[in-house]
């Protein structure tokens, strides 16, 4: 199935995807070299996204006032705009908050992996070990929190960009 999907890519499309992959890798390396600045930049992008999406949701809500979900959409729009403005005006507080959310997420994912290793994967040791390691990483990050907030989110962004770029290149080169 992946072969069929790749067969439909033209050389130009492959080239665009390769450029995107190398750009992700380059940005990942930069993020790992300067994790604080990468974390702040990613936080500001997230704040901008919240602000823009909140404004657009508000526009949609006021254009469809008779829609059943209008009140909920207005509330969501207001929360998004407030969160976006807060993050844009206080990027370091936003970075600390996002880092804490990431730490909690890593911990919860670790618990889920352990649960699923016994519930679905019949005691899969690798999945359980991955869950235990996730929980340990979350605990290590939390014990150094909030000082870890200065670099944790930037490192996570950098690792994600590196992995996305490498996976995209691997996917493109597999069938080349």
pTM value? Answer: 0.70
- The predicted-structure confidence for 48-105, as pLDDT tens digits, reads as follows 999 999 999 999 888 877 767 788 888 899 999 999 999 999 999 998 988 898 889 9
On the question of pLDDT at 142 being above 60, the answer is yes
Report how far residue 27's alpha carbon sits from residue 6's, in angstroms, rounded to the nearest whole number. 25
Distance CA 18, CA 173 (A): 9
pLDDT of residue 34: 93
Q: Provide the total of helices (H) and of strands (E) in the chain, helices listed first.
A: 7, 0
Which pLDDT score is estimated for 1? 45
């Amino acid at each position: 199935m992946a072969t069929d999907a790749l067969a439909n890519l033209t050389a130009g499309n492959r080239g665009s995807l390769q450029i995107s992959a190398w750009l992700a890798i380059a940005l990942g390396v930069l993020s790992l070299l300067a994790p604080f600045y990468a974390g702040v930049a990613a936080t500001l992008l997230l704040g901008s996204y919240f602000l823009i999406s909140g404004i657009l949701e508000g526009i949609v809500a006021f254009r469809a006032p008779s829609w059943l979900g209008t009140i909920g959409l207005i509330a969501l729009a207001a929360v998004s705009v407030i969160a976006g403005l807060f993050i844009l005006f206080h990027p370091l507080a936003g970075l600390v908050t996002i880092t804490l959310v990431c730490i909690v997420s890593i911990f919860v994912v670790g618990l889920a992996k352990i649960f699923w290793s016994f519930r679905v994967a019949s005691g899969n040791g690798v999945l359980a070990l991955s869950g235990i390691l996730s929980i340990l990483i979350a605990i290590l990050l939390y014990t150094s929190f909030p000082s870890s907030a200065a670099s944790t989110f930037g490192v996570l962004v950098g690792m994600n960009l590196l992995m996305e770029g490498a996976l995209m290149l691997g996917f493109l080169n597999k069938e080349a």
